[in-house]
Amino acid sequence: MAQISGRMLEVQPRLLGRVESLANNINPWLRRFALVTLIVAARDDAWLGALSRLSERLSHDYDPYVKKAAALAKDRLKKAAART
């Protein structure tokens, strides 16, 4: 599902506000979905800033699955930094 939402975000950047609102949701699966959506969108380096902000904010989440997604996001950011 994140593959679809990530590509939608690439095509319609105005959806970023909705993704960020998911990151504030009480449901941990929606917070994780927000991160994974941005990980997919960050194939395009234009999304790396948004991914960095969101992963930093959620890296201290209480839910282990959200923390895992934040770790995956940070890994994606490191790989992008190594390319440049």
63 vs 48: CA distance, rounded Å: 23
Question: 2 or 71: whose pLDDT is higher?
Answer: 71
Q: What angle do CA 25, 26, 31 make, to 5 degrees?
A: 50
What pLDDT is stored for residue 55 in this prediction?
Answer: 95
pLDDT digits (tens, 9 = 90+) for 42-83: 999 999 999 999 999 999 999 999 999 999 999 999 999 998
| Domain spans in the chain, listed from the N-terminal domain onward | 2-83
| pTM > 0.85 | yes
* pLDDT tens, position by position, 4-32: 999 999 999 999 999 999 999 999 999 99
